[in-house]
Structure formats: structure tokens, C-alpha cells
Structure 1
Amino acid sequence: MSPEYSPTAPRSAPSPNDLRPAALDDVDQILVDALRRDARMPNNALAALAGIAPSTALGRVRSLIERGVIRGFHADIDPRALGRGLEALISVRLQAHARKHEAFTRRIAKLQEVVDIYFIAGANDYLLHIAVLDAHSLRDFVIEHLGADPEVAGTETTLIFEHLRPRP
């Protein structure tokens, strides 16, 4: 991604609890769709695709970031390239008295094995996507970071055979 798209600039993104959809016109939609397909698309290519001037494209992308439509730009790293060839989804149910979900999330988010954290509805509270070296490492992760946590009531682990990311 070009440096002009740096999300480090101060922003006043809407609250995560603000469920109103952002008002996107046709140009915004073209920019969002293009960046969803390729977050590294250069500004001049975005501008050409949307039929606008490069300076306008840059301003539009900055506005999309400030409004919270674009939350960030990410690299899709293959865990196998990092020596983490086993991926799993772990459903986590917290104890009824453990209402400090933020503390659990902060603690788990610091672990290098964690790829994604989902706070979910239903019988479980969280779904963790993790990537580890092997089955032994997976067992250690569950025992050390979840089983030993007094806030965790239970877990269920599902192995991922293949992780595909749909491309528009």
C-alpha cells in the first residue's frame, strides 16, 4: 500500500456501536470495491478506475478512513511461511461471572498464535482463529492459555484443513 494511505493519521472514526451504514456514493463504492480486491492499488490507478483526479481519489480514501468505512490495510500472511502449518478455530465459553470480556480479549490478542478474535452470540462467547506449528503446539496453547484461565468455562477446537479467502 502506498504511504499516502497510512491509517496512522488522526481520525474520528464512528463508535463501533454506531450501526448506521455509511453513506457511499458511486465513486466511494468503486474505491471500496477496488481496495477490497487489492489494498495495494496505487492512488493513480484508483483514480483512473473511478474516473476522478488523483487528488480527489486521495481525499476520498482519506474520508473513507476517517468515517470508519476503511478500518485498515492488512497483509494476508500465509501462516505456513512462518512455520505455523496447523490452523484451528477454538470456540471459547467464559464463566457466567466473567463479564470482563475486554480483559480476556486483551490477554488473548497479545498471543502470537492468534490470527483473529471474534466476539460472538450463541452458546459460546468467542471464536479464536489460531495458527501453530503442530498438534502438540495446539494442545499446549489450549491448556496454557485457555484451560488454565479461571474465566474460561470450556472450549471446543475445530481443525482447519484449508483457509480460502474469496476474491471479488
Structure 2
Amino acid sequence: MQLDRIDYALLDALRKNARLPNKTLAEKVGVAPSTALERVRRLRESGMIQGYHAEIDPQALGIGLQAMISVRLERHARTDVAAFDTYLKTLPEVLSFWHVAGGNDFLVHVAVRDSQRLRDFALDAFTTRKEVAHIETNLIFSFQRNARLPAPPRD
């Protein structure tokens, strides 16, 4: 699907605030409300927009510690990678994870109540898994999500 300047402007505005009413969205982008509505529908149907999400503050829920856990698997067999991927999806402490190339195989973003819970979680959730060879935990002091889209390709 080819995107133009208007599509990128709509995506950028929705990325910053997905709750914008269509009329406001159209005004921000400089198009008619019917154009904005149709373009957003097309972006959704194409899979470019995959959903709308609430940003939850874990600390407000009493979950005060976040960490990135690097995981190296014992083997790089597809079955082990798939099994570990499936397993991570079952853990409520896991906010997100990435299967990566390099010295480690997975980066796992977790949120837990405190350092004791992080220790218990790391030991219970990872070191007991037969496919895990090594883990390394890094505490997250602060986190900032970039609200901008990547630059559009130049024509």
C-alpha cells in the first residue's frame, strides 16, 4: 500500500492521540472529515493501524520495578525458539519481548512489584527452563516512548 503525506499525517496524529474525534483529526491534517474517516478506515483494513491501546502506568498499580532481561537459549533450534516465545506470552509480568540476533536470543521487558519479586521471577520463570542457557537482568531507571513515526521514505 502506497502512503502519501496525508496518510503519514493521519498516522502521526493518531500515534500521539488515538482518541481524537474524526473532526479534530481532519482539522489537524487539513482534510475534510469524510476524507479522514475514509483514509483511517483504509489504514485499519490494510493492517497499517493494528489497534488502539490505553497506556497504563504500572506504578499506579503498585508495580514499581521494570527490567530488561536478556536471555540466551541453549540451542537455536526452531522448536526451542517457538516454545520459549509461546511460554513468554503466558507470563503476566512480561510487558513485551523481542527475538533478536547477537549475543542473546531474546530481550524481555518485565514489570514486577519490587526487587525481591524480580529475583524470584527471574529464577522461577527463566532458570528452570531447559532451553535457557543464560540470563542477564538490567534494571530500567526511566522509560520514554518516542511518539513520532519513522520518517517516510523519500520519493
Matched, 1:129 2:93: no
TM-score, normalised on structure 1? 0.81
C-alpha RMSD of matched pairs (Å): 1.5
Alignment of 1:3-152 (within 5 A): 22-96=1-75, 98-100=77-79, 101-152=81-132
- Per-residue Cα deviation, 1:86-114 (whole angstroms, up to 9, x for no partner): 00000011111542223211221221111
SS of 1:147's equivalent in the other structure is coil
AA partner of residue 107 (structure 2):
L
Runs of 4+ more than 3 Å apart: none
AA partner of residue 43 (structure 2):
L
Shift of 1:167: 3.8
* Conservation of the 8 A alpha-carbon contact between 1:47 and 1:53: yes
> CA–CA distance in 2 between the matches of 1:97 and 1:34?
40
> CA–CA distance in 1 between the matches of 2:64 and 2:92?
14
AA partner of residue 109 (structure 1):
K
SS of 2:20's equivalent in the other structure is coil
> CA–CA distance in 1 between the matches of 2:86 and 2:70?
17
> CA–CA distance in 2 between the matches of 1:150 and 1:98?
13
> CA–CA distance in 1 between the matches of 2:146 and 2:4?
24
> CA–CA distance in 2 between the matches of 1:103 and 1:65?
31
> CA–CA distance in 1 between the matches of 2:92 and 2:69?
15
Identity value in percent: 51
Gaps of 5+ in 1: 1-21
> CA–CA distance in 2 between the matches of 1:103 and 1:23?
36
Question: How many matched pairs?
Answer: 147
Higher relative contact order (CA 8 A, sep 6+): 2
> CA–CA distance in 2 between the matches of 1:39 and 1:91?
32
